[in-house]
Amino acid sequence: MDTYQITDLEQLSGIKAHTIRIWEKRYGLIEPHRTKTNIRYYDNEQVRKLLNVVTLLNAGHKISKLSEMKDEELNELIALSSNSEETDSFCSGAINTLIGATLNYDEFSFEKTYSSVLNRLGLYNAILKVIYPLLYRIGILWTIGDAMPAQEHFTSGLIRRKLMAAIDGVVVNERSRKKAVVFLPPDEWHDIGLLFTDYILRSNGYHVYNLGQNVPYENASVVLNSTGASTAFTFFISRKSQEEIYHSINLLLDKNRDLNLLIAASEQNRPLLPNHKRIQLMNQPEDLLNFIK
């Protein structure tokens, strides 16, 4: 049985831990298990129930009524609510269903929900409104969480396939003057965010040179010079020293005088980034979209 702390529930559901505890005490929504040392924890079924409740709350139902329902009744109500015309409610429900599929390694449920989202929203909005929030919630896009590594690997594999297929489906404009190099620096291997960035840039008319994982900065600089690209996007996710970050950034900026360097960084690395007019910090996809408009 997989076990979760209340902080994990908060991250997965988007509901504050304080609120979850109130729901437990006031409505008996879920009752946490306890270890021999009286530490609270939750299992997959409890997480799934919480996600279902959150989905229905977003669809306009009341917590007092939902807390009285059995799991079967919640599932039936979820099915009825899936026909809602409200896009935000639909997206929220899809995200929670995909998280549930992640927790249970349920590829069938994942594919079924993804297809529904794709048909409803189209590819571009499906990625922006559902897939990105999903990845953010389970901690595998701009930052890495260690709470559920096995589930993360399961879902990242599925999403990687979707993103690669989406990238292949974008028609490349050979005459485009907008060029970007995207890469992961040395000792960075987490490429979901890289693929997501690749797709967004291509969808907005960029000719993208995706160098992949673990790329030496000297190699990235050579490609920038050879292609004439004026934009580069990279990630600082794994823990690094400020000296290492400064050295790598200065190497790129000094050798490529017209370069705009876009960086996505984990929370631990963001304070280490230098303040430079040619550096743009990308906290979320909207930041990238605003930059390329």
Q: Looking at residue 81, what is its pLDDT?
A: 64
Domain assignment present for 17: yes
The length of the chain is 293
- Pairing type for strands 33-34 and 40-41 reads antiparallel
* Distances in whole angstroms, Cα of residue 275 to Cα of each of 117, 231, 280: 39, 17, 9
Regarding whether 99 and 37 lie in a shared domain, the answer is yes
The predicted-structure confidence for 65-94, as pLDDT tens digits, reads as follows 898 888 888 877 776 665 555 677 888 889
Determine if residue 42 is left, alpha or beta; phi over 0 gives left, psi from -120 to 50 gives alpha, anything else beta. beta
Regarding whether 141 and 36 lie in a shared domain, the answer is yes
> Which of 18-27, 79-88, 234-243 reaches the highest mean pLDDT?
18-27
Show which of 165, 187, 219 is a domain's final residue: 165
The predicted-structure confidence for 269-284, as pLDDT tens digits, reads as follows 888 888 888 999 998 8
Regarding whether 110 and 29 lie in a shared domain, the answer is yes
- Pairing type for strands 279-281 and 179-183 reads unpaired
Domain assignment present for 1: no
Residues 6+ apart with CB under 8 A from 106: 100
Regarding whether 193 and 105 lie in a shared domain, the answer is no
Domain assignment present for 22: yes
Domain containing 271 equals 173-292
Average model confidence (pLDDT) across the chain: 85
pTM: 0.73
CA pair distance 79, 109, nearest whole angstrom: 13
